[in-house]
Structure 1
Amino acid sequence: MEAAVVVPLLLFAWIAFISLISVARAHERIQQSLTDSALALAIEAGRNEESVQSSWMVKVWAGLSALEDMETGGVQSVSGYNFSGSQVLAGDSWICLEATYQIKPMEGLIPLPGIRLKSRACTRAWTGYVPGEEERYGESGHSYVYVAENGQVYHEDRMCSHIKLSIHITDREHALTYPPCERCVGNDIWQGETFYLTETGECYHSRLGCSGLKRTIKRVESDEASISGLVPCQRCTGK
C-alpha cells in the first residue's frame, strides 16, 4: 500500500526535477544567444550605427530562432518574447539586450505552469573613443567644441544628452501618452506594438531610423563657434 503511494510521488518528483534542469538549460542557451547577438551588434556598430539601430531586433530574433531544437527534452515550449527593456546605442554607445519570455516544462503526471524568465546582455559598441585632453584640444592646441547640424548652441561634452540621445523602447499604452512625431508618424496612429522615446523627448516615434532620433554632430574650433554666433549649452557647459 505504501509503495503504491510512494512510487508515484517519487516518479513525479523525478520528472519535475528533470523538467527544471531542462528549463535552466534553455534559459542558459537563450542568455548565450543574447550575448552573442550583443557582441555581433557591437562590432557592426563600428561600421554602420544606423544599420544596427534599424535592424537589431531582426538579428536578435534570428539568433533565438536557431534555438528551436531546445523545445525538446523536458521543455515543451518557449514563447512570449518581449524585448521592450532593450536599449541599443543608448548613452555612451551601449547595447543592452533584454528579453523576457515564458518556458513551459514538458507535461508529466501533473501539468506544470509556465515559468517567466528574463535574460540580459550588455556591451559597448565598438565605435571607438579615446578620452583625454586630445579630445577637446587637438594636436594644434586649439580648443574644440561640438555642434549639431542646424544647431544654435555648442557643446563642450560630446556625450551631452542634448546631442547624444538615449533611446528607449516602449509599448503602445505608454507611447500614446505623448504626441506623435510629425516626421515618422504624422497624423496617423501607428498600428504597431513597438514605439521609441528619448529621455528628454516630447513625442513618440514609430521608426528607429526617424531623423528625429538622430543627431549629426561635427567638431569645430571654439573660436569658430563663437564667431558663428553659437551660444554655449547650459547643460554641459554650465554657462
Structure 2
Amino acid sequence: MFLQGKENDSKAADRKEKKALPAASSPQNVFLTVGRAFFLSPLKAGLTVEAACVLPLFLWAVLGALYLIEVSVVQTRLVGGIHEAGRKMALLSYGVYGGISEEEKGTGVGEIVGGALTAVYAKNLILKKAGLEETFLKEQVKISLAASDFSEKNIIDLKVMSRISLPVPGYRLRRLKFLERGRVRAWTGRSPSEEMAEGEETEGETVYVALNGSVYHRDPDCSYIKVSIKSASVAEMERKRSSDGSKYYPCSCYGAHPSPTVYYTRFGNRYHGSLGCSALKRTAQKVPLSSVSGWKACSKCG
C-alpha cells in the first residue's frame, strides 16, 4: 500500500509538471514559433532594401516633372518676348525705311534706329521682355538668332533657337533644343492696296516683270524679283539647300571671281563669288497686266 501510494504521488506530480509546461514547448508550437521568427527577419530587411531603391526613383520622377514644368514656363516666356520684340522692331523700322528726314540723318539718329534691326538688338530685347531672370533655369538657357532674317523691307523674321540644359546631379543630359519663330510686318507706311488702286484708276491693274523673264508678279517686294542675298563660306555651301531642297553649285562667274566667301539666295541653286554678278541682279519694271496676257503668274504672289 505504501509503494502504491508513492506511485500515485509520482503520477500526480508528472501530471502537474506537464500542466505547468508552457504551450510553446510542444513540438508543433515550437515549430511555429521558430518558423515565425525565421520568416519575419528577412521580411523586415526586404522592406528596407525596397525603400532604398524606390525612394531615389521617386525623387528623380518628382525632379523630372518639376524641370518639365519649368521648361514649359521658359518657352512660354520666350514666345511672349519674341512677340513684344517683334512689335517694337516693327515700329522702329519706320525710321529705317524712310521715316527719318535728311536733317535727322546728319545727326546720327539714322544709325541709332538702323541698329534696331540687328540680331544682337533683337536678342537683348527678347531676353529683356521674356524675363528669364525670374525662372529657375535662367543660367541654363542659351538663345541664338543667327537664322533670323532682316533683309526683306516689309518683313521682320525672328527665328530663335533656344538650348536648355537640365542640371541633374550625377548625370550629364543632352541639351533640349527648341525653335520659335515670329514674323512681323514692318510699319513702313506702304500700302499695296493703295498702289494697286492708283494703277487701276490710270491704266488698269499693273504688275511687275523682270528683264528677260516670263513670269509676272503682283507684289513689287516679291522675293523672286527683289532678291535677298546672303553670304556664307564655300565649305558651308556643301550643307545648305535652297527653298526647294536643291543643292547649290558654283555659278559660271565663280571661276573668274573665286572667293572664300560666296553669295547666294534662297531661290535658285547657284552661289556666286561676287555681289556684282549679273545673276544676282533683278531689274523689275511696272507694266499693265494686259501687256503680259500670255505670261504665267508668279507662284508666290501671283
TM > 0.5 between the two? Answer: yes
Structure number with the bigger relative contact order (C-alpha 8 A, sep ≥ 6) is 1
CA gap of 1:135–1:57, structure 2 versus 1, over 3 A, is farther
**Which structure has the highest helix share of the two?**
2
Q: 1:8 aligns with which of 45, 53, 56?
A: 56
Compute the displacement of 1:45 (Å): 2.7
Residues 178-207 of structure 1 show CA distances to partners (whole Å, capped at 9, x for unaligned) of 448x8xxx643129xxx6524247435899
Q: Is the 8 A contact 1:101 1:118 kept in 2?
A: yes
Partner of 2:160: 99
- Which is higher, the Rg of structure 1 or of structure 2? 2
Partner of 1:173: 238
Q: Secondary structure at the match of 1:46?
A: helix
Residue 96 of structure 1 aligns with an amino acid whose one-letter code is D
Partner of 2:85: 37
1:214 and 1:33 map into 2 onto residues whose CA distance is 36
Q: 2:265 aligns with which of 164, 182, 197?
A: 197
2:273 and 2:80 map into 1 onto residues whose CA distance is 31
Residues 127-152 of structure 1 show CA distances to partners (whole Å, capped at 9, x for unaligned) of 332426514234xx345757799x68
Residue 226 of structure 2 aligns with an amino acid whose one-letter code is K
Compute the displacement of 1:156 (Å): 6.7
Question: 4+ residue runs of structure 1 moved beyond 6 angstroms?
Answer: 50-54, 146-149, 151-156, 212-219
Compute the displacement of 1:82 (Å): 5.5
| Identity level (%) | 21
CA gap of 1:74–1:8, structure 2 versus 1, over 3 A, is farther
Compute the displacement of 1:30 (Å): 2.2
CA gap of 1:70–1:125, structure 2 versus 1, over 3 A, is same
The aligned runs of 1:96-175 (5 Å cut-off) are: 96-127=157-188, 128-131=190-193, 133-138=196-201, 141-143=202-204, 145=206, 157-159=218-220, 160-165=222-227, 172-174=237-239
Compute the displacement of 1:115 (Å): 0.8
Q: Secondary structure at the match of 2:181?
A: strand
Residue 79 (structure 1) aligned with residue 142 (structure 2): yes
Q: Is the 8 A contact 1:104 1:113 kept in 2?
A: yes
1:104 and 1:206 map into 2 onto residues whose CA distance is 41
Residue 136 of structure 1 aligns with an amino acid whose one-letter code is G
Q: Is the 8 A contact 2:208 2:216 kept in 1?
A: yes
Residue 60 (structure 1) aligned with residue 125 (structure 2): no
Q: What is the root-mean-square deviation in Å for CA atoms of aligned residues?
A: 4.8
Q: Is the 8 A contact 1:43 1:126 kept in 2?
A: yes
Q: Is the 8 A contact 1:146 1:156 kept in 2?
A: yes
Residues 85-138 of structure 1 show CA distances to partners (whole Å, capped at 9, x for unaligned) of x34454x93322122232101223544331111111122222332426514234
Residues 42-97 of structure 1 show CA distances to partners (whole Å, capped at 9, x for unaligned) of 2233332497699431222222454695496246522363632x34454x933221
Number of corresponding residues: 217
Partner of 1:20: 68
Question: Which runs of no fewer than 5 residues in structure 1 stay unpaired?
Answer: none
The aligned runs of 1:215-234 (5 Å cut-off) are: 234=295
CA gap of 1:173–1:78, structure 2 versus 1, over 3 A, is farther
Q: Secondary structure at the match of 2:156?
A: strand
Compute the displacement of 1:27 (Å): 1.8
CA gap of 1:80–1:42, structure 2 versus 1, over 3 A, is closer
Q: Secondary structure at the match of 1:21?
A: helix
Q: Is the 8 A contact 1:87 1:169 kept in 2?
A: no
Q: Secondary structure at the match of 1:79?
A: strand
